[in-house]
Amino acid sequence: MRSQLGPDGATAPIVSLAGELATPPGARPAEDGASGLARARAFAEPLLAGRALDTGEDAFDHAEGMAALLAGIGGAPSLQAAAYLVYAADYLQRPEEVVEKAFGASYASLVTLTRKLVQVQRAAREAQVMGTARQAEQTERVRKMLLAFSKDLRVVLLRLASRLQTLRWYAASKQGCPQALAAESAQVFAPLANRLGIWQFKWELEDLAFRFLQPEEYKRIARLLAEKRVEREAGVEVVRKQMGADLQSHGVPAVVYGRPKHIYSIWKKMQGKQLPFDRVMDVRALRVVVADVPACYAALSRVQERYRAVAAEYDDYIAKPKPNGYRSLHTVVLGDDDRPIEVQIRTQAMHEHAEYGVAAHWAYKEAGAKGYAGVAAAGEFEERVAEARKAVLRQLLAWERDFAGHAEQSPEGRFDDRIYVFTPQATVIELTAGATPVDFAYALHTDLGHRCRGARVDGVMVPLSTPLANGQTVDIIAAKEGGPSLDWLNSELGFLRSPRARAKVRAWFNTQAQAGTIARGRELVEKLLQREGRTSLKLAELADQLGFKDADALFELVGKDEYSLRNIEQLLRPPPPPPPDNEMPVLRRPKADGQGARGGVLVVGVESLLTNLARCCRPAPPDAIGGFVTRGKGVAIHRLDCSNFRYMAQRMPEREIAVAWGATPKDRVAAYPVDVSIDSAERPGLLRDITEVFSKEKMNVTGVHSSSLKEASGRSLRMVFTVEVSDAARLQQVLRHVAAVSGVRQVRRK
């Protein structure tokens, strides 16, 4: 094939760019030269020798062919070396690790991306063969290819070279190429090469795919071309020399080239315009390269003056460039033998862009005679490489949209749900369609999202609620510290579109709220310790004694008012001296025979275990109860509806134990302390009246605590009576009598 080097031997810019991105000036490793290529080849040969790819090709011959193709388009030795390494990696146990150790992290990353991409492509072809590949699935795989390409532009060149080498092998071995592989080459790889301006790859991919997909049509066009090839080439050469001399003599210096024709492009024009072979205008074609744009129009004028122009065959792609940036003047004239000749007229810069791809305009304008590697300043180099890389990636985005556009009529084929934008360093970021700069910031890093305060899109300051579009470059302006705004969670304001970013904002505010709750709880606990004279007590030890995993867990519940400070008071204050035995509540250990205790609480399945009634809820028969194993104090008995018990059982379920009320001995009267809370208006004699009710009902009052509250309607009292009962069910009858006392507003068991 014809080398894709420029007239002065310069490397195609996209090829050079791929190499420079991996190894910028001043950081080029020793193995990037010819010695590195030889070392990679020697490394791969014993691994690949005698191996066959899934296509049937010899693995080492395939790598050799890829390296030759990359060399043909001006690829650096480092790029050629990658062709060997990505295939050698298939036969290593830990490929990325081994390649990184032997050749560096850049090659290891390339190996990883390329191998993943090969798996994606293989799955796509297998699905197509099985008849299960829908357009939506294919487009999703193309999107994965795009993201792999965006991370390392070398992947593009390696995949294109690999596919072209495979098609060449099928052609040379005269074996039938799988239709799925040929179709993928025509539908995905050739358009990709076209978008990136790697024209020689594009034309050969198209011709070979056409050969395998429509062999009879291919042979027919090839036969028509071959029959008149010598005559045609001789005629083109005569006109080429004639046109060059004529332009020179009329003051328009130009270089005129004969342009090779490709079977697929000829057939496509015959089909599209319903033309016979003899009427295809650009079977004979010339390319005229001049100094500048005015010279293009001067050359056009002279060519149309010297030869007879075909009126309907003229296109001005200088005034109106193609979507991929292609610019040229196209005209068709009749030669002296009245046969058509297509003429393309362009400047040297347009020619380099057309020949070498979308990065060429940057290289031609910025790199000058120094070339890519001649840029001295690292910062300047990085900035220029980023601009060139974005130019290439924008074409990759356009290629992905072109591919997805084929299925826009079917619901499963629409892929307008995501966009791709750039960082200032030209990294591609995938976002939900309609995403804003805030979404972009959170996609880069959570902390950057929290500190986001402004954004530039393509160099222009925009509001943070601005929807982003494909291909834009976004630069986030962030504060040194701080957090998100609550407005970002307001969907009507449009700051966030990504559910993931929205979750990160909510998490930040939840963390802040939790921190405030913990601080409030800590303050309450520390004040209680000061009142009790226990400031030397370590908070972590206190939390552990109360059954919490750490102090913050205790503070959080106290701060939420879900854990009473009274529980801490009870822990800190020493228990009162025990009453005489005949006044002890009937709480006995279970008998060793397992038949249950004569009174008190039975711990199911455990013998002789100490139990004590929890003071936070003061259970009494027939309350539904549960047990919680404490540290050093046996089993604490709680009512099942006790909030403290529910919390501790949820946090430490392994310490929950089943318990039941035991039978009370006949020679004893059970007495269980319970707390009764009474809210009332303040009046003389109220305490005496309530105490009399308990006395008439034969309930012993063991404690009273009251507090006065000031309200708009006057002063009120809140009293807590601790009374002893043998049956909590009977307590409800007594409370109804208490509620009837004058001034009592509410009475309830705590």
pTM: 0.49
- CA dist 565 and 647 (Å) reads 15
**pLDDT tens digits, residue range 201-223?**
888 888 888 888 888 887 887 77
Question: What pairs with residue 461 in β-bridges?
Answer: 456
Residue 180 domain-assigned (yes or no)? no
Phi, psi of 496, rounded to the nearest 5 degrees:
-130, 135
CATH of the domain at 446: 3.10.20.30
Q: How far is CA 515 from CA 482, 511, 553, 637, in A?
A: 15, 6, 11, 33
583 and 624 belong to one structural domain: yes
600 and 702 belong to one structural domain: no
- CA dist 399 and 73 (Å) reads 21
Residue 171 domain-assigned (yes or no)? no
- Three-state SS at 444: helix
659 and 684 belong to one structural domain: no
- Look at residue 477 in the predicted model and tell me its pLDDT: 92
CA–chain centroid gap for 444, Å, is 9
Which residue range forms the structural domain that includes residue 553?
A: 498-574
| Residue 163 and residue 191 in contact, taking contact as beta carbons nearer than 8 Å | no
| Residue 167 and residue 209 in contact, taking contact as beta carbons nearer than 8 Å | yes
- Look at residue 437 in the predicted model and tell me its pLDDT: 94
Q: Is 660 left (phi over 0), alpha (psi -120 to 50) or beta?
A: beta
For 579, half-sphere exposure in the C-beta direction (CA atoms, 13 angstrom radius) is 7
Which residues 6+ apart lie within 8 Å of 661 measured at CB?
600, 601, 602, 621, 622, 625
- Which residue among 327, 355, 383 closes a domain? 355
567 and 608 belong to one structural domain: no
Number of H helices, E strands in the chain: 27, 20
Sign of the C-alpha dihedral, residues 412, 414, 417, 423?
A: positive
- Look at residue 31 in the predicted model and tell me its pLDDT: 46
Tokens for 574, please give them.
């020493």
Which residues 6+ apart lie within 8 Å of 361 measured at CB?
325, 349, 352, 353, 391
- CA dist 100 and 77 (Å) reads 18
- CA dist 276 and 611 (Å) reads 104
Q: At what angle do helices 215-227 and 199-213 cross, to 10 degrees?
A: 120
Q: Which residue carries 């957090």 as its tokens?
A: 483
584 and 570 belong to one structural domain: no
* DSSP H or E stretch at residue 349: helix 348-356
| Residue 97 and residue 82 in contact, taking contact as beta carbons nearer than 8 Å | no
**DSSP H stretches of helix in 532-602:** 539-545, 551-559, 565-572
567 and 584 belong to one structural domain: no
Q: Is 608 left (phi over 0), alpha (psi -120 to 50) or beta?
A: left
**DSSP H stretches of helix in 89-185:** 95-103, 105-129, 135-151, 154-173, 179-184
- Look at residue 260 in the predicted model and tell me its pLDDT: 56
Residue 218 domain-assigned (yes or no)? no
CA–chain centroid gap for 219, Å, is 48
Tokens for 308, please give them.
């007879």
- Look at residue 428 in the predicted model and tell me its pLDDT: 72
| Residue 587 and residue 601 in contact, taking contact as beta carbons nearer than 8 Å | yes
447 and 523 belong to one structural domain: no
For 133, half-sphere exposure in the C-beta direction (CA atoms, 13 angstrom radius) is 19
- DSSP state, 467? P
Residue 207 domain-assigned (yes or no)? no
| Residue 326 and residue 299 in contact, taking contact as beta carbons nearer than 8 Å | no
| Residue 387 and residue 175 in contact, taking contact as beta carbons nearer than 8 Å | no
CA angle (299 as vertex; 297, 301 as ends), nearest 5:
70
- Three-state SS at 705: strand
Sign of the C-alpha dihedral, residues 487, 490, 493, 495?
A: positive
Residue 397 domain-assigned (yes or no)? no
- Strands 474-478, 460-462: pairing is unpaired
- Look at residue 712 in the predicted model and tell me its pLDDT: 62
- CA dist 263 and 222 (Å) reads 7
**pLDDT tens digits, residue range 341-354?**
889 999 988 887 76
Q: How far is CA 321 from CA 194, 197, 277, 312, 353, in A?
A: 15, 14, 28, 19, 12
- DSSP state, 662? P
SS3 content of the chain, % helix, strand, coil (to 5): 55, 15, 30
Give the Cβ contact number of residue 173 at 10 Å.
Answer: 11
259 class by beta-carbon count within 10 Å (0-12 exposed, 13-18 middle, 19+ buried): middle
Contacts of residues 375-383 at CB distance under 8 Å and 24 or more positions apart, as own/partner, are: 375/25, 376/25, 378/24, 378/25, 378/26, 381/20, 381/24, 381/25, 382/24, 382/425
**Total count of residues recorded for the chain:** 750
Residue 407 domain-assigned (yes or no)? no
| Residue 18 and residue 154 in contact, taking contact as beta carbons nearer than 8 Å | yes
One-letter-per-residue 3-state SS of 187-233? HHHHHHHHHHCCHHHHHHHHHHHHHHHCHHHHHHHHHHHHHCHHHHH
Q: If we measure between CA atoms, which residue out of 499, 732, 750 comes closest to residue 614?
A: 750
277 and 314 belong to one structural domain: yes
595 and 685 belong to one structural domain: no
- Look at residue 403 in the predicted model and tell me its pLDDT: 55
Residue 270 domain-assigned (yes or no)? yes
662 and 710 belong to one structural domain: no
- CA dist 474 and 455 (Å) reads 7
Domain count, the chain: 5
- Which residue among 543, 559, 574 closes a domain? 574
568 and 521 belong to one structural domain: yes
Residue 653 domain-assigned (yes or no)? yes
- CA dist 178 and 167 (Å) reads 10
* DSSP H or E stretch at residue 690: helix 686-696
- Which residue among 574, 593, 620 closes a domain? 574
681 and 646 belong to one structural domain: no
Residue ranges in the chain modelled with pLDDT below 70: 1-33, 119-152, 195-197, 225-233, 259-261, 263, 269-283, 324, 354-417, 426, 574-609, 632, 664-669, 710-714
One-letter-per-residue 3-state SS of 366-391? HHHHHCHHHCCCHHHHHHHHHHHHHH
CATH of the domain at 681: 3.30.70.260
- Look at residue 383 in the predicted model and tell me its pLDDT: 59
- DSSP state, 157? H
Tokens for 219, please give them.
């042979």
